[in-house]
Amino acid sequence: MIDKRSPGALIRGLMRKAFWLPLWVTLSASMVFGGTEPPPVSAGEGICERRLCQGQSRIPERRRCLYFFDRGDNDGPAIDLAVDSIRPGIMLSNPHGSGFFAGNWEFLGEVFGGGIFHGPGSVEVGGTLIFRYNFIQPNARVIPHMQIGAGGIYTDIGEGESRGLVSLPVEFNLQGTGGLRFMLDNKWSLILEAGYRHISNGTIELPNRGVDSVGGDVGLGFFF
């Protein structure tokens, strides 16, 4: 059957599906790597030995690529970029609970910067505060996570050249991400993530169309 909805409606429908994709991937991975009926999580052997308990700190470094997508109501140019970031973080709680949702909370502060390789402007720098939930199963070497973050961003993209996508040099940065942490040993880990990011000025100044991007990143984490 041919879908007779308008292109804008189709794009918005795809966007809604894409918004839930990181959650679906993360939860599915948690079931695969953690088992369907895992025993209760405790802060004992196999958990705290891998630096996943309250008070443990880490510094991951990563590289990310973000690609513009049109929600259906923008007519601005595509803006694609590659950024490097550092995210110092600290575990806020010990692993707790049991079964599928066992895990702990983590807080991270991100500093990022990079170049725009397609579209108007040449650079962006900024910072983000991030809250992450780690899905931890006993003795698991692969740890899924979900996170949300908010912060600020500076860019040299102009209002005219972006056709109203960006109106101010400093705007807000909102993001939602899912990922997997592969424990290489008790201190080092490989981190893969994919997610969504939105930039806008919160209607401080009009037009306020914003820039929506999806992308992924890869990085290394070190616990100390």
Question: Which stretches in the chain have pLDDT values below 70?
Answer: 1-51, 58-62, 64, 66, 68-74
pLDDT in the model for residue 100 = 81
pLDDT in the model for residue 132 = 97
Domain range annotation of the chain: 7-223
CB neighbour list of residue 13: distance below 8 Å, 6 or more residues apart? 5
Q: Using CA of residue 168, residue 174, residue 180, residue 186, what is the dihedral sign?
A: positive
pLDDT in the model for residue 65 = 72
pLDDT in the model for residue 43 = 41
- DSSP characters over 15-65: HHHHHHHHHHHHHHHHHHHH-SSPPPP-SSTTTGGGT-STT-EEEEEEEEE
pLDDT in the model for residue 156 = 94
pLDDT in the model for residue 66 = 66
pLDDT in the model for residue 67 = 72
CB 208 within 8 A of CB 202: yes
| pTM reported for the whole predicted model | 0.75
User: Cα 143 vs. chain centroid, distance in angstroms?
Assistant: 15
pLDDT in the model for residue 209 = 87
Beta strands 57-68 and 80-86: pairing type? antiparallel
Q: Which fold has domain 7-223?
A: Porin (2.40.160)
The two tokens of residue 125 are: 């720098």
Query: How distant, in Å, are the alpha carbons of 128, 191, 192, 211 from that of 163?
Result: 26, 36, 33, 11
- DSSP characters over 153-168: EEE---HHHHTTS--S
Longest dimension (CA), the chain: 58
pLDDT in the model for residue 50 = 54
Query: 109-162 pLDDT, tens per residue?
Result: 999 999 998 889 999 999 999 999 999 988 889 999 999 999 999 999 999 898
pLDDT in the model for residue 53 = 77
